[in-house]
Amino acid sequence: MKNYLVSGVAALVLAAIAQPALAETQPETVNIGYQKANIFALLKYRGTLDSEFKKQGISVRWVEFPAGPQMLEGLNVGSIDLAATGDAPPAFAQAAQADLVYLGHSPANPQTEAIVVPQNSTINTVADLKGKRVALNKGSDVNYLLIAALEKAGLSYKDIKPVYLPPADARAAFQRGAVDAWVIWDPYYAEVETNAKARLVKNAEGLVPHYTFYLASRKFAEAHPQTAEKVLTELGTLSDWANKNPQETAKILSASTGLPQPVWQRAIARMPFGAERMTPEVFKEQQALADKFTQIGLLPVKINVNSATWSLDKK
């Protein structure tokens, strides 16, 4: 009798092992945050993700945000599941206890952000910024560029007069001469080059890598890993299309933002699209960004970027 019981238990154990893992429960709706000028806007207007998910009975809800920090606040409170931002907002979100994960990143694109001055300015080098009024969006990717550029030129953040303004207000201040320089990113960079003849002092090449990061709430990514991975795959497919079709890409983003198509063509020429899984090297670069913001006092606490690793990246 005892042998029969042992055999029966063994059979049940083997049967359980042989059973395939239960498929994840797919969400009814995927909520995606986007800005008018980023890759998720391109994905929205092309409609390919909506079509793919519709086949699976999943709807996509697109939620527009003015900038990355507000988008990640939405991610933190659960109003969206996925987002794409530049380098700095995720670090600030982690410092604010947002439970997010990094799904992937774009190729580095240091040419898409820059320090610019009016065409007739006497400022020719980063060292010439000493004592000058420099407009920038506080806590943004370009904030990191400015810090790195000043340090390389032998200056500190205290050697300039930062004027914290969002892009629209900074553009107006730049136009009327209320600031001496502006640290900005595309497509605003391309617009001020085109329409105000802004002159480049230094872009991010050789200073900081500058990525777009694809992010998710940890709750969503862990509950629906296949869905999250599908979004990353679609971003990769879209990127291949965008890199091969720059004029059509510029047309779509022009319609999304209201900026003229030639401005977008200029921006896209230095903006490689792509979607890659996170690597230890990229996490290391992102940690360096976070540590620098903590060092100069813009981040109130030290954070561990690796704590936002997606579980699938650990395999």
Is the pLDDT score of 230 beyond 90? Answer: yes
Let me know if residue 276 belongs to a domain: yes
52-78 pLDDT per residue, tens: 999 999 999 999 998 888 899 999 999
Instruction: Indicate if 96 and 215 belong to the same structural domain.
Output: yes
Instruction: Indicate if 121 and 91 belong to the same structural domain.
Output: no
Domain that residue 243 falls in:
29-108+211-314
Question: Which DSSP string do the residues of the chain spell out, in sequence order?
Answer: -HHHHHHHHHHHHHHHHHSPPPPPPPPSEEEEEE-TTSHHHHHHHH-HHHHHHHHTT-EEEEEE-SSHHHHHHHHHHTS-SEEEE-SHHHHHHHHTT--EEEEEEPPP-GGGEEEEE-TT-S--SGGGGTT-EEEE-TTSHHHHHHHHHHHHTT--GGGSEEEE--HHHHHHHHHHTSSSEEEEETTHHHHHHHHH--EEEEESTTT-----EEEEEHHHHHH-HHHHHHHHHHHHHHHHHHHH-HHHHHHHHHHHH---HHHHHHHHTT-----EE--HHHHHHHHHHHHHHHHTTSSSS---GGGGB-GGGG-
Instruction: Indicate if 300 and 151 belong to the same structural domain.
Output: no
Output the pLDDT for position 23: 58
Output the pLDDT for position 5: 40
Let me know if residue 40 belongs to a domain: yes
Instruction: Indicate if 126 and 189 belong to the same structural domain.
Output: yes
Report if pTM > 0.85. Answer: yes
Instruction: Indicate if 100 and 222 belong to the same structural domain.
Output: yes
Let me know if residue 20 belongs to a domain: no
Encode 255-281 in three state secondary structure: HHHCCCHHHHHHHHCCCCCCCEECCHH
Instruction: Indicate if 298 and 155 belong to the same structural domain.
Output: no
Instruction: Choose the final residue of a domain: 201, 226, 256.
Output: 201
Is the pLDDT score of 311 beyond 90? Answer: no
Give the model's confidence band at 312: pLDDT under 50 very low, under 70 low, under 90 confident, else very high: low
Instruction: Indicate if 99 and 115 belong to the same structural domain.
Output: no
27-39 pLDDT per residue, tens: 999 999 999 999 9
Output the pLDDT for position 139: 85
Is the pLDDT score of 11 beyond 70? Answer: no
CATH code for the domain of 156: 3.40.190.10
Task: Look at 314 and 227; give whichever has higher pLDDT.
Answer: 227
79-116 pLDDT per residue, tens: 999 999 999 999 999 999 999 999 999 999 999 999 99
When divided into structural domains, the chain yields a total of: 2
Instruction: Indicate if 55 and 89 belong to the same structural domain.
Output: yes
Output the pLDDT for position 143: 93
Instruction: Choose the final residue of a domain: 148, 180, 201.
Output: 201
Instruction: Choose the final residue of a domain: 176, 201, 226.
Output: 201
Instruction: Indicate if 220 and 89 belong to the same structural domain.
Output: yes
Of 87, 81, 130, which Cα lies nearest the Cα of 110? 87
Average pLDDT over residues 189-204: 97
Instruction: Indicate if 74 and 119 belong to the same structural domain.
Output: no
Let me know if residue 84 belongs to a domain: yes
Instruction: Indicate if 133 and 192 belong to the same structural domain.
Output: yes
Instruction: Indicate if 137 and 231 belong to the same structural domain.
Output: no
Question: How far, rounded to the nearest angstrom, does the alpha carbon of residue 256 sit from its chain's CA centroid?
Answer: 18
Let me know if residue 300 belongs to a domain: yes
